[in-house]
Amino acid sequence: MAFSCIKLALLSISIFITIFPETSFSVDPESEDSNSTTEVILTQSSSSYTSLLQSLIRNLRFLNSSVPKPNLIVTPQNLAHIQAAITCSRKHGLQVRVRSGGHDYEGLSYVSDVPFLIIDLINLRSINIDINDESAWVQAGATLGELCYAIAKTSNMCGFPDGSCPTVGVGGHLSVVGFGTIFRKYGLAADQVIDAEMVDVNGNILNRTLMGEDLLWDIRGGGGSSFGVITAWKVKLVPVPPKVTIFNVAKTLDQGASNLFQKWQTISHKLPNELFLHSVMGVANSSSPNGGKTVVVSFTGLYLGTAENLLPLMQNNFAELGLQLNSFTEMSWIQSVLYKYRLFNQWTLGGFASEKPNIQKLQSNIRLCYRTHSCGRFGRAVEHVARREHSQHTNLILTPYGGRMSEISGSETPFPHRNGSIYGIQYLVYWDSNEETPKHIYGMRRLYSYVTPYVSKCPRAAYLNYRDLNLGVNRGSTSYEEAKSWGVKYFKFHFERLARVKAEFDPSNFFWHEQSIPPSFN
């Protein structure tokens, strides 16, 4: 019945809608593409249903046959298709999940325990660069790599504070503020948002003028899936130099990694804004005669400038790394986008559009650190879990804060954890088969618990794009007060403001998931 309803709506809407003439974004529901409902709507019996569903699932745990599947997948080719999908979902009691890139640690964009459909934005990925205005309109289904590539094709003097992975969808990245490698210079990705286009619960198409500043504020960090279907963003571009410089140094505990890590904690958030220096703690085979495992800490830097200028900066601030001029590699900004993807994720990128690693990944968690910690304690925790679980794929990714990101007020976006944090810790574990899942989840939780006394509390801080359902979940008609158990960890005092705007724009709580913003009518 829902299929018939959506099909009828797609074929019957006859109003030509033009939203932003200057961006060439227009919708004509009577076009040939709009009437091709077999390409827009996939049922579970459709020949391409399974391949499309699985194509953007990056967390392979959710490929398990026991994971609930959507009743329908809608792949809109224009805004009218989204309007129809929302209208018919409301009529027939189907929950809506919205997917742009698929990098979703908890799978909330494509998994639900109640009847649901996916609005997959895979066809909405156009990018329009206005180099004179130093801005871009990018549809939410495009990836960060596609956005960066489009910018670089237009100008080698402009860039964007993207994330560390080019296959992340623009829609999800921008709606939860978005960290990358040049945010210390220019701020977070959401800090660059100028405008947005979205379809609300009533099928209205909104831009900044129509939605107002409160809703725009909400979706720039509060998670767009709580408020509607965001279809496009207008962002400002940032200047990048002709050359950037990168380096990577890895040390084991036997090679002095503990002292280097201690030094990194004291300086990484204070370095000049042009330098991003993060560290990754993991496990490797020991070179000692006794063999076994050892902890290795990698220090990876990206500098907006030349190697000649970076060398004295590193010698003055972190001479202990022992870097020389030949330790550095110069490249263009767009080349660094590809480099960091290969380095951080350790698999080859065949193109900027999409590629899926053949691994399983646990949801990644992040906590924020307000003071320095012992590398020995972190190292023992990682090593203990790796040995217990017989895995070398346990990592802590430590991202330094500071710079321009911390200079911007915590009230500019819903992300409040700007000033006062020195770095964030992302916990990751990888494995190869579903049979190993319970063991590795247990091991990750042990590691997480082991470090808990040394990180943020009152409240414990978290970052929405590394969603963690262990913090708490909505259960049916969860109230605002009940949802505060997890909401204040992501948003602190902003959670109340998010809930008030939710009550205004989606009072029936149609856009619901396990950690969606609930409406507050206080």
The winner for highest mean pLDDT among 244-248, 350-354, 376-380, 426-430 is 244-248
Q: Residues 305-320: what's their mean pLDDT?
A: 98
Query: pLDDT tens digits for 117-126?
Result: 999 999 999 9
Query: pLDDT tens digits for 427-463?
Result: 887 777 777 778 777 777 777 777 777 677 777 788 9
Query: pLDDT tens digits for 461-501?
Result: 889 988 888 889 998 878 999 999 999 999 999 999 999 99
User: Is residue 403 located within the same domain as residue 257?
Assistant: yes
Tell whether the model's pLDDT for residue 35 goes beyond 80: no
User: Is residue 231 located within the same domain as residue 98?
Assistant: no
Is residue 448 within 8 Å of residue 462, measured between CB atoms? no
**Residue 4: per-residue pLDDT:** 58
**Residue 402: per-residue pLDDT:** 94
For the chain, the 3-state helix, strand and coil shares in percent, each to the nearest 5, are 40, 20, 40
**Residue 358: per-residue pLDDT:** 35
User: Is residue 92 located within the same domain as residue 171?
Assistant: no
Peptide bond into 518 cis (omega under 30): no
- Strands 25-27 and 293-303, by their bridges, are unpaired
Residue 192 lies in a domain: yes
User: Is residue 366 located within the same domain as residue 311?
Assistant: yes
Residue 463 lies in a domain: no
**Residue 462: per-residue pLDDT:** 87
Residue 345 lies in a domain: no
User: Is residue 176 located within the same domain as residue 253?
Assistant: no
Q: Give the range of the structural domain holding residue 134, as residue numbers without chain letter.
A: 127-240+479-505
Residue 3 lies in a domain: no
Count of domains forming the chain = 3
Query: pLDDT tens digits for 253-303?
Result: 889 888 898 899 899 999 999 999 999 988 877 777 676 778 889 999 999
Tell whether the model's pLDDT for residue 344 goes beyond 60: no
CATH for 433: 3.40.462.20
Is residue 148 within 8 Å of residue 127, measured between CB atoms? no
Is residue 272 within 8 Å of residue 313, measured between CB atoms? yes
Q: Classify each residue of 164-184 as buried b or exposed e, where b means 16 or more C-beta atoms within 10 Å of its C-beta.
A: bbbbbbbbbbbbbbbbbbbbb
Give the Cα separation of 412 and 191 in Å (integer).
Answer: 8
Please name the helix (run of DSSP H) or strand (run of DSSP E) that holds residue 403, with its range, or none: helix 403-407
Residue 172 lies in a domain: yes
User: Is residue 118 located within the same domain as residue 142?
Assistant: no
Q: Residues 494-509: what's their mean pLDDT?
A: 97
Two tokens, residue 431? 């494995």
**Residue 370: per-residue pLDDT:** 59
User: Is residue 315 located within the same domain as residue 197?
Assistant: no
Query: pLDDT tens digits for 412-422?
Result: 999 999 988 88
Residue 85 lies in a domain: yes
User: Is residue 487 located within the same domain as residue 381?
Assistant: no
**71, 99, 123: which is the final residue of a domain?**
123
User: Is residue 71 located within the same domain as residue 147?
Assistant: no
User: Is residue 117 located within the same domain as residue 189?
Assistant: no
Residues carrying an active site annotation: 466
**Residue 386: per-residue pLDDT:** 54
Residue 2 lies in a domain: no
Two tokens, residue 486? 């997890």
Give the Cα separation of 297 and 444 in Å (integer).
Answer: 19
CATH for 58: 3.30.43.10
CATH for 499: 3.30.465.10
Give the Cα separation of 492 and 110 in Å (integer).
Answer: 27
User: Is residue 258 located within the same domain as residue 234?
Assistant: no
Residue 219 lies in a domain: yes
Give percent of the chain with pLDDT exceeding 70: 82
**123, 138, 164: which is the final residue of a domain?**
123
**Residue 357: per-residue pLDDT:** 36
**94, 123, 152: which is the final residue of a domain?**
123
State pTM to two decimals. Answer: 0.87
Mean of pLDDT over the chain: 84
DSSP 143: B
User: Is residue 302 located within the same domain as residue 441?
Assistant: yes
